[in-house]
Amino acid sequence: EGEDAKIAVRNLRRDANEHLKRLTKDKEISEDEERRATDEIQKMTDKAVVDIDKIIAEKEKEIMTV
């Protein structure tokens, strides 16, 4: 389940980055805005993966103590 959650987060990141590239191509946002948004998306992705890893570790610990 944890791995599926990580895959879902990465898929969302990919979709968001593709959307940003389309916006830049259509001249709706600047390249600087795209870069900042891409960096922010990466930070959110990293945080989500860390949170998922913590949940997995807690669940493993819980299962092992039972």
Residues 15, 9: Cα–Cα separation, whole Å: 10
Mean pLDDT of 5-26: 97
pLDDT of residue 31: 96
CB count, 10 Å around CB of 20?
19
Q: Is 37 helix (H, G, I), strand (E, B) or coil?
A: helix
Res. 22: pLDDT tops 80? yes
pLDDT of residue 66: 75
Q: Which residue has the tokens 């103590």?
A: 65
pLDDT of residue 23: 97
Res. 54: pLDDT tops 80? yes
- Residue 17 CA, distance from chain mean position: 10
